[in-house]
């Protein structure tokens, strides 16, 4: 590392923030692009499991709320891709890498949404897991990313309320409705526990070292468990892990998540990975003429 890079590292580690026009080490820029691009991809791919339920939502209110959530998530991906673009990678290239399978998106968006119970569990618990990571990005050393996270976090908290309301309504309904939620929690628990990644030590995580993230993977998972397991239990739901408990020192113990499954899913081998990428590919092909017309207009 050169002297200039070393002093940059010290600057970000002591809480300093960087703007798009500031000098930054190539490694830092590359790490930012990779991390932020995956976030943008996840927002974009994350709408696919939910959009499947817009036409099947049980009431007009639910349909409106779900449509609004889906629009929010697409908006998040727009904002995030703009940040990546300023760092030097055009959005078109991000989309090319996404549909070719070169770039990744979060594990939870590679699974099917089988029932309306899934819609509630995704908006409540998947968004909860996501907001824990996103809140930690409010202190990101790259200021433009930290700034857009304010708007994103505000909207994500609203998604959680929507999800919680769907779940509460089902839990106050019939036995069949309660079973729908329990069955969804059982299926989503594994992916949720894998969501924050393997418990790599903070100081060995380059994203933490550069202060792109301000918390380690395990810290995020513990925060998720602490915030949501009591709420899950309070509703009379169970979690499919007999070893899950909070120790006297406040640390949650749990069965080791399936890291092989995580690796295979995020590399495009999840149950819905290829279907969803195909859909994105087709959408991109069928809308190509719109981009051509708009860009020709602009030129």
- Closer residue to Fe ion in complex, CB, 46/257: 46
CB of 69 to Fe ion, least distance (A): 6
Q: Are 99 and 176 in contact (CB under 8 A)?
A: no
- Tell me the backbone φ, ψ of residue 29, rounded to 5 degrees: -60, -45
CB of 294 to Fe ion, least distance (A): 25
Identify which of 267, 263, 24, 222 has the alpha carbon closest to the alpha carbon of residue 140.
Answer: 24
Q: Are 31 and 212 in contact (CB under 8 A)?
A: yes
- Closer residue to Fe ion in complex, CB, 108/266: 108
CB of 18 to Fe ion, least distance (A): 24
CB of 131 to Fe ion, least distance (A): 8
The two beta strands, 252-253 and 245-246, are antiparallel
Q: Are 137 and 143 in contact (CB under 8 A)?
A: no
- Closer residue to Fe ion in complex, CB, 149/193: 149
> What residues line the site for Fe ion (CB under 5 A)?
43, 73, 76, 127, 156, 159
Alpha-carbon separation of residue 219 from 129, 226, 288 (angstroms):
12, 10, 43
Identify which of 88, 85, 37, 212 has the alpha carbon closest to the alpha carbon of residue 141.
Answer: 212
Identify which of 192, 129, 179 has the alpha carbon closest to the alpha carbon of residue 159.
Answer: 129
CB of 155 to Fe ion, least distance (A): 7
- Closer residue to Fe ion in complex, CB, 43/118: 43
Between vectors from CA 122 to CA 120 and to CA 123, what angle results, nearest 5°?
65
CB of 270 to Fe ion, least distance (A): 19
Cα 102 to the chain's mean position, in Å?
18
CB of 156 to Fe ion, least distance (A): 5
Find the radius of gyration of the CA atoms of the chain.
20
- Closer residue to Fe ion in complex, CB, 162/272: 162
Measured CA to CA, the distance from residue 238 to residue 233 in angstroms comes to 6
Chain position carrying tokens 């830092």: 28
- Closer residue to Fe ion in complex, CB, 162/221: 162
- Closer residue to Fe ion in complex, CB, 66/239: 66
Structure tokens at 197: 């990644």
């Amino acid at each position: 590392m050169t002297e200039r890079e070393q002093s940059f590292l010290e600057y970000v580690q002591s809480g300093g923030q960087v703007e798009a026009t500031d000098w930054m080490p190539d490694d830092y820029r590359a790490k930012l692009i990779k991390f932020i691009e995956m976030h943008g991809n996840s927002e974009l791919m994350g709408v696919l499991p939910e959009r499947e339920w817009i036409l099947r939502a049980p009431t007009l209110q639910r349909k409106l709320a779900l449509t609004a959530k889906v629009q929010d998530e697409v908006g998040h991906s727009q904002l995030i891709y703009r940040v990546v673009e300023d760092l030097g990678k055009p959005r078109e290239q991000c989309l090319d890498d996404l549909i070719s399978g070169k770039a990744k998106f979060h594990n939870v968006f590679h699974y099917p949404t089988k029932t309306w119970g899934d819609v509630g569990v995704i908006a409540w618990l998947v968004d909860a897991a996501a907001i824990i990571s996103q809140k930690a990005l409010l202190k990101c050393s790259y200021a433009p990313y930290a700034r857009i996270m304010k708007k994103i976090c505000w909207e994500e908290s609203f998604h959680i309320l929507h999800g919680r309301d769907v779940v509460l309504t089902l839990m106050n309904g019939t036995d069949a409705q309660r079973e729908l939620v329990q069955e969804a929690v059982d299926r989503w628990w594994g992916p949720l526990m894998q969501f924050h990644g393997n418990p790599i030590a903070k100081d060995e995580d380059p994203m933490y070292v550069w202060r792109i993230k301000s918390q380690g993977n395990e810290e995020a998972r513990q925060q998720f468990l602490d915030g949501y397991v009591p709420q899950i239990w309070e509703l009379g739901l169970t979690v499919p892990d007999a070893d899950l408990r909070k120790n006297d020192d406040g640390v949650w113990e749990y069965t080791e998540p399936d890291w092989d499954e995580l690796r295979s899913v995020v590399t495009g081998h999840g149950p819905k990975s290829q279907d969803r990428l195909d859909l994105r590919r087709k959408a991109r092909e069928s809308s190509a003429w719109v981009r051509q017309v708009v860009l020709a207009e602009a030129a």
